[in-house]
Structure 1
Amino acid sequence: MNNTHSSVLNKVAYLILHGFDKSYRWHSRITRDGQRRFEQAQWQETQKAVKERIAIYERTLSDAVGEIYQQVFPHQENSQFWLDLKHRFQKLLNDHPQYELAETFYNSVIGRIFKHQQINDDMMFILPTRCYLTGLQRHLVVHSFDTSGTVRQMLDDIFAQYHFDIDYQDMERDLRHLDAALRTRLNREQLAYVHTVEMLKAVFYRSKSAYLIGRICMPDETLPFVIPLSVSESTADKQKHKIVVEALLTERQDLSVIFSFARAYFMADTQHPAEVVAFLHELLPHKKKFELYIALGLYKHGKTVFYRNFLQHLEDSHDQFAIAPGIRGLVMAVFHLPSYGVVFKIIKDEFPESKKITRQHVKDCYRLVKMTDRVGRMADTHEYMNFRLPRSRVALELIVELLDTCASSIELTEDEVIIQHLYIERKMTPLNIYLEQQNDPKLITSALNDLGLCIKQIAAAHIFAGDMLHKNFGITRGGRVIFYDYDEICYLTEREFRRLPKSDDPYALDTLSVGPTDVFPEQFEHFIVGKKHLKLELKALHGEIMTAEFWLEMQAQSLKGDVPDFIPYDQTKRFVN
């Protein structure tokens, strides 16, 4: 290798690493500022920060690719250049604290240059380059607390480690609550067996809450130890905001809901994300590591880890990709691998006349959901380009369906089905199927009640779901209703909510002037759920969502910029403050 070639390789490798480091510094700066926004109750600024942090990656990626084009003409380089570049870049990462994220950034650079046509492990870091040894850097991300004294002494030690620039409203009261809650959760014998409490150093900020996250360690058992915090806003004087301890959570289910795929990403500042994810995975072993990276706002690397997990699952399974159960969508073709917990969604080539939207509009809607607070009611989605499936694993019926509805997005080779653009989303039971198959009246009522709550909470987040047919909602194993069809989603302020005219004239509705943004909520009862007894029950539970008044009030709150509280855990566990 001549010196000029080696020099160019070094420059390009350093440019990519510089681009990543710039991206992560920017990401960390916004994340770190979460504490100030929390202390000052700057909730609208918090929502803006969520959007800004998501946008960072694309900006720094574009800058890095532009700088590479100043050094080389990428498409004139041979394959050996890219093999050498990957090797050179890998060497730069030997002691890098975010090496796994940097590999993903490298993948993004190669993907951008080659328009995602060169997805292989020779060119990119498709497979992991090293086995991460969990625990070697644990001391850098975790505080450990001695439990040989009293519970109160341990709690005092914990709060001495977390420093805020505002006071607690009533620390003595909060410590009494925590002491009593822990003694309720653990009996005297269990408390005696606790040998350590470990707490992540990073505070996890999201929306109007902050979380201290850790675990109670006993010889035969480890329990979550999570302390949610809020800021009291009882006065207009921002200098008098006070911190309130809201609860003590020691159930894995509570922590799992906090880390739900339907919630916004956390602001949790760390320079050692692999170790933080390893710690969280020990607390939540049923969650995949890609889900935890995504929850930390590192969604690009989460996509990489997902893809690796997906490839491994393909090797370990034998079932075929098939059309997903449920009513066919008008905008998306949806399929799944029955043994795997996600669905794959492709935008169709043509939409029926009733859908007066474009392909770009659909993409914009999915991006809107990515950038907003999903409040536990809207499933996160992840976008992929040139996603490859082994053709032998794809059912013929599905291939026929995709060629019929999405041909512009499909490329068939002898061995692969290549999908140019798709979204991946958590698999849930479609609500219409659930209601048809469920025989327990109490569970039906619970699902309908949660459906109404889902619609209301999305509205409280300033979003209008649009197409609210129950087939567009899913239900999780825990019975929570989640919205997942976004082609008609928009901000509340983009719609005109109107009352139907009161008239004895049977033809009055026929002459009603209806604009493209007009919505008549009184008509919702006719289509959200199909069967009459379900309609009546939903109306009895949440009749207000079928009135213009409800939506106009939600719209007014949106215009004022109100940011409501969304408590992601069992409210019966909140302390009475």
Structure 2
Amino acid sequence: MPIVQEKVAYQILFGFEKNYRWFCRITSGAKQRFEQAQWQATHSAVKERISIYEQSLADTVSELYALINPRQQDSEFWHAVKVHFAQQLNQHPQYELAETFYNSVIGRLFKHSKIDENIMFVLPSRCYISGQDKQKIVNSFDTSGTVGSMMQAILSMYRFNIDFKDKATDLSNLDQALRERLNKAQLASVHTVEILKPVFYRGKAAYLIGRICMPNETLPFVIALLVNEQKQLQVDALLTSNKDLSAIFGFARSYFMAETLYPAEIVAFLQELMPNKKNFELYMSIGHYKHGKTVFYRNFLQHLEHSDDQFTVAPGVKGLVMAVFHLPSYGVVFKIIKDEFPESKRVTREQVKECYRLVKMSDRVGRMADTHEYVNFRLPRNRIEPALLQELQDVASLNIQVNDHEVIIKHLYIERKMTPLNIFLQTETDESKIHNAIADLGLCIKQISAANIFPGDMLHKNFGVTRHGRVIFYDYDEICLMHQRTFRELPKSDDPFAIDTMSVSPEDVFPEQFEHFIVGKRHLKDLLKQLHPELMTAEYWIEAQKRAATGEVQHFTPYSEAQRFRHQP
């Protein structure tokens, strides 16, 4: 008769495997949704896949309570459970995800009050050796013939239950594009082309992702596919630069649907192509955001051990809702909801949390930073600047607990660090970069609204600039769906106070006023009006609202328009 600890370990693994089957079932449906152009169903599947983890976790915890009273068991009991669980993971193809699920169960049982390697996998149980399952995730293609024959073999290997609009033109475009990217010597030296077996689906696109291997260099090899309005398949682009691949896997984009039983091997392959991407970012990009959080935490602990700088207030204008700080040597910012908000902020703490959940579930279209939520996040007190600790105690005392050695943050958001747009515009001296930032700011606002999100507070301090110069929105406390606002024209009157005398509800928005607060300096206001004049008109926003109401899913390519192949209408 198995001992109780074995039963508990088995029940947790059963819960994980049930969750993973559910995850894979949703993911495997991406191919059919893509073929049938079921874009609303695609969006619903994204939301469902994010939400199932919490449901599986709740089910598993409930089943454990049917076996034992978890909180009455001592540390030795849970250590034994961990040992049995680890033994069950020998040869398990998703052992790293299973360990994260186990940690989540322990966290739920003890309300995240125990971060203890003795009973949790704070560190992984083993070091994954990449390449051991490579043959299970990669297709290799013959490069001894012509470029055209190789492209034909690739499109024949990855089959879709949908006709190509013009396969011959697609093959010609691919052939020509590769010959333009590589010179004759490079083409002659190509010894291998490898493409991941899973197709990567997101939004209205599908991507074949691989690499071109030469003796002295390796280049990304990405074929982007779209379904046109006539429900025909066409190749949209061939991408061969690291910058393009990094943009496709950007932190402001929704998670991919990529069906695989070997996520660690997929991530290892991708990291070879994108060494600047962190391991946790790549897990998140393929939908394993919970495990991504675990890997982030491990990475963070390791960084703390090998650094000595202190946490300090993040640069930029202080927010009215969030207290934001950072570790200068690390690439994220930490955000805590303040205890109280000024009267100008008509939101509650729960509403702020709901806004962040809305973004998590939405298509972020490459314009809204992904955020990761933590509870009882621990920081070493001696690494926190006294001024920062005092500020946190002043504005967020309900959310922190301080002892002699640690500062425990009860609820925390973590985001990728960017240069706040207001600081970028103050410090940048290159006029062309300033022009591009203002142009991209307008596009950012338009694309967010096309994704059925009204950004709300559009002050330029709430936008960031990435290292590639892309403008990203990151302040979500006033966002809402487009239908939740009424866009109105300002009254036509000689009375400058007329707006104060008319009936105005909290949901009313006057776009003509945007020019006064999105950016500060006059020449920047004028540039924004010149590049995006429609943003300052109620008519534009009303039309955007109508389009959002139809439920039509928009598509924005993560690469430039110039990189797209031209197709005859």
Fold equivalence (TM over 0.5): yes
Q: So what's the TM-score if we normalise by structure 2?
A: 0.99
Matched, 1:372 2:362: yes
SS across alignment from 1:214? strand
Matched, 1:117 2:124: no
Matched, 1:62 2:52: no
Offset at 1:7? 2.1
> 2:483: which partner in 1?
493
Q: Deviations over 1:383-436 (max 9, x none)?
A: 001111111111101100000010011111111111111000000000001111
Write the letter of the residue equivalent to 2:52: I
Matched, 1:266 2:256: yes
Provide the alpha-carbon RMSD of the alignment: 0.8
Write the letter of the residue equivalent to 1:79: S
Aligned partners of 1:506 and 1:339: how far apart in 2?
Answer: 49
> 1:26: which partner in 2?
22
> 2:154: which partner in 1?
158
Q: Which runs of 4+ in 1 moved over 6 A?
A: none
Offset at 1:187? 1.1
SS across alignment from 1:444? helix
Aligned length: 567
Offset at 1:155? 1.3
> 2:504: which partner in 1?
514
Write the letter of the residue equivalent to 2:226: S
> 2:420: which partner in 1?
430
> 1:238: which partner in 2?
none
> 2:300: which partner in 1?
310
Write the letter of the residue equivalent to 1:397: A
CA contact (8 A) 1:475 1:481 kept: yes
> 2:309: which partner in 1?
319
SS across alignment from 1:564? coil
Aligned partners of 1:372 and 1:565: how far apart in 2?
Answer: 13
Name the stretch that deviates more: 507-516 or 214-223: 507-516
> 1:86: which partner in 2?
82
Question: What does 1:202-241 align with in structure 2 at a 5 Å threshold?
Answer: 202-234=198-230, 241=231
CA contact (8 A) 1:254 1:570 kept: no
Offset at 1:507? 3.5
Aligned partners of 2:424 and 2:180: how far apart in 1?
Answer: 37
Aligned partners of 2:497 and 2:347: how far apart in 1?
Answer: 29
Q: Deviations over 1:91-140 (max 9, x none)?
A: 01001110000000000000000000001211211111111111010000
> 2:242: which partner in 1?
252
> 2:410: which partner in 1?
420
SS across alignment from 1:45? helix
Matched, 1:573 2:569: no
Write the letter of the residue equivalent to 2:258: A
> 1:146: which partner in 2?
142
Aligned partners of 1:543 and 1:59: how far apart in 2?
Answer: 46
Matched, 1:293 2:283: yes
SS across alignment from 2:532? helix
> 2:381: which partner in 1?
391
SS across alignment from 1:157? helix
Q: So what's the TM-score if we normalise by structure 1?
A: 0.97
Aligned partners of 1:506 and 1:536: how far apart in 2?
Answer: 21
> 1:347: which partner in 2?
337
SS across alignment from 2:176? helix
SS across alignment from 1:309? helix
Offset at 1:37? 0.7
> 1:199: which partner in 2?
195
Unaligned runs of 5+ in 2: none
SS across alignment from 1:248? strand
Aligned partners of 1:258 and 1:276: how far apart in 2?
Answer: 16
Matched, 1:107 2:103: yes
Aligned partners of 2:494 and 2:345: how far apart in 1?
Answer: 32
> 2:175: which partner in 1?
179
Aligned partners of 2:350 and 2:103: how far apart in 1?
Answer: 25
